[in-house]
Structure formats: C-alpha cells, structure tokens
A and B are shown apart, each in its own frame.
Chain A
C-alpha cells in the first residue's frame, strides 16, 4: 500500500494526514499502533521501533497512546461511565472513588458528564465520538490518534470535535495525529499537514503553505474540485465507440 512513505510527527503538535478515501490513512494509524506489521521499513514512537517490541512492551506503549476510532468503538454492553472507566479498571488498581473522580473529570472535559448513565445505543454519533475521546484520554496518554473524527457529523458536532481536539491537545500537551479527508476541519486545527496518495506523501507543510501550493493534485483535493488530475471518470474504453458497438457489455 505504501512505497517510500516517510513522515515525522512532532511531539506536542497536531499533525493532520489528509488524503482521499482508500489511500491507506487508517492503515497508517494501524501501523503506528502496531496492529499491522509493515513488510519493509520502520515505525518509531518515542524512539522505539514499534514492530520490534515484545508483546508486553507493545502493550505498555499502547497504554501511552489513545485512539479515536471512526465508529467510536464503544463497548456496547457497558454504559458511558463504564466505557470511560474501562481502561482504568483494566490497567490500574485505583480505588473506586478515585476511578469515579477521574471518569467524571474526563467526561466533563468532553461535555458529557450528565450522560454517564446512558448506554452507547442511546448516543448520537457525535456523542459516541466524544465518549470515545474521553476514554482515549483517560489514562493520560502522550499521543492520541484520530481516525476520521469528522466523518458523518453535523456542522455543530464537527465544530465541537474540532474544539475538543484543539483544546485537549493544548491542555494535556498531547501529540495528536488527525487522519481525515475533511479538508476545512483538518486545516483549522493542524499545525502541520501531510497529503498522502499513491502510496506516499505528495505534499506537506503548514495549512497556509498548502493553500498556496502549485500542485494541481493538491489544489484539486483542497478545493474539492470534481475533475482534475484525479479524473471524474473511472478508466474505460472510448464512450462513443462503445455506444456504437451495441448492447454487448
């Protein structure tokens, strides 16, 4: 999927990774999280080669990473409160009153303290993502990866998620990686952007630099133009010739 992909994610910043659907953005997050193994090359997090770590070391590293899945990936048999408490119960021996305090603090940060008794099925898409965000930061990770955090959300909820990502990054000193194809939202929060396509990085820079780019491909993507270097039509034989040939498929 990737050929010669090379990118750095600076600590304490929001890095956006943009690209059209199917270019491997989620795969990239799975490589960083150690869920997939590259056939060649290395992925380093805090100086550790993720794919050379033992299972115990990888799990220890993952405790310092949070990931927000596109679907939220909440455990459907647990309430909002229990979902956020889940990593604490699994990885710490904190007493129950302390777990309660931590969970309420994290839910307050995402504005859902009042929804703690709800079940995931009772949440809207945006609320589910906010709960998942509270769960992703409950162990105070150093890095959070966001997989398509804006997809399928209404404008108000998108704005809420944008605000949360930016504020949490600043308040907690996180390193954030935002993978998305939503150009406006990602441009608004990212300190630095990579645009990936065809297995590699085709452009990178600050949002202001990318807006000024000469690359027709990047201009088409950033401006959302239907035709350009990425053609509107799927490759096919000549249209008129095919029509004249009759009904043969």
Chain B
C-alpha cells in the first residue's frame, strides 16, 4: 500500500515538474520570438515544411469529410423535406467544429510528430548541445521558428480544410444528389454568421495551433535523447495534442455557444 502511494507520489511530482518545465519553456520560446523579426527566412523555411507539406493531407481529408457531410446531411434532411438547408449544415459543421478540430488532429499527426521527432533527434545527436557551445540559443534558432510556423499554419490550414469541405459537400449534395445549387449557397450566405460562426471557428483554430505547436516543440526538446525516447516523444505529441484539442474544443464551444 505504501509502495503504491509512493509510486503515485513520484508519478504526480514528475507530472507537475514536467508541467512546470513546459510552461517555462513556453515563456522562453515566446520571449525569443521578437528576435526572429530580423531573420524571417528561418520562419519561412519552417512554414514550408510545417504548412505547405501538410497541404495534401488537409485538402484530401477536407474533401472527403465534405463528401460524407453532404451525404449524411442529405439523407437526414430529405426526410423532413429540408434538403435545401444542406449548405448550412455542411458549412456550420465545418466552420464551427470539424474544420478546426480535424485539422488540429491531422496537424498533430503530420506536422507535430515531425517537429517533435526532428527536435528530439537534434537533441540525441548533440546538435542542440553543439549550438549552445557555439553560443547560439537553440530555443531561438531551432524551437521558436518551428513554433511560430506551426502557429501561423494551423488557422490557414483549418480555413482551407473548411473551404474544401464545403465544396466537397456541394459536389455531393448538388452535383450527385440534386440539391439546388442556388439554395445551397444562398442558405449558407443567409444563415452562417461571420462573427458567431466564422470568427469563433478561427479563434478555435488559433488556440489549437498555439497548443499543438507548443506540445510538439516541447515534447521534442524534452525528449530523452535516445531512439526510444524520441519515439515516445513523437507518440506523446500526437496523443497529448489530441487530448488537449478535444478538451479545449469542449471548453471553447461551451464559452462561445453555450449561452452561459
């Protein structure tokens, strides 16, 4: 029993210490962001690897999610003779929820895991130590550009996901199932509010981008410098980001749409 309590105590202390390290790391990362201003090339390079290279999975996933939403929405709405509202169902589902959330989950799997693995490998091959000994701050040179690139990319990718998803829903609803194209788009125009729906979706994607990028760079930087440690860091990045995004999504949704 005492052994169990001891183990629980150790586990709790380790978690609290890690949480503290993570927050201190975030403060150092944020503090070094202004020093990137004279060197935009560092961020642009990471924007390519984090953002541009994620385009394919985002566009393809957005398209298929849109197809499914169009199909499922039509099957449900047609029972009530409300199939002309399909555009609103698809657009609101994407802009409010699926766009930011699914993009964040895909981002964690594609870009977040790559960031964690890259930084973790740099640590295990002493590249970060080498930078320190060359009087170059690894947080400023390695971590901050990647964090900023992730933070910038996520909302843009989420917006692209939603746009492609709406077009996917339109393709299935109007192109294959015969929903009137004018009704599809005019219902979206009339029912989707910029401030309540679009802006709130953008706020979600900004928050998710911040958290997903933070988790990815921290897990890489805090990885045990062995092949097993880097593997664990990569896995933790995906799992922790997914949990954090889903938890935050509930909180943000409650705050934005819960009328509390």
Contact = CB atoms under 8 A, between A and B. Distances in A.
Nearest to A66: B133
Contacts of A33: 132-133
B129 interface: yes
A35 B132 contact: yes
B135 A73 contact: no
A69 interface: yes
B133 A35 contact: yes
A62 B135 contact: yes
DSSP class of A's interface residues: helix, strand, loop or mixed? mixed
B133 A62 contact: yes
B135 A75 contact: no
B134 A90 contact: yes
Contacts of B133: 33, 35, 62, 65-67, 69
Contact of A69 (B122, B126, B136, B141): B126
Contacts of A69: 126, 129-130, 133
A112 to B, nearest CB: 18
Contacts of A90: 134-136, 141
A63 B126 contact: no
Interface string B111-143: 000000000001001110110111111000100
Nearest to A139: B134
B135 A35 contact: no
Interface string B133-158: 11111000100000000000000000
Given A73-B125, A76-B125, A67 B130 contact: yes
Contacts of B122: 76
Contacts of A63: 134-135
A75 B137 CA distance: 14
Contact of A71 (B125, B132, B136, B137): B125
A121 to B, nearest CB: 11
B135 A91 contact: yes
A91 B141 CA distance: 13
Contact of A87 (B125, B134, B137): B134
B130 to A, nearest CB: 3
Contact of B127 (A35, A66, A70, A75): A75
Interface of A: 33, 35, 59-60, 62-63, 65-67, 69-71, 73-76, 86-87, 90-91, 132, 135
**6 closest pairs, A vs B, by CB?**
A73-B130, A62-B135, A73-B126, A59-B135, A67-B133, A69-B126
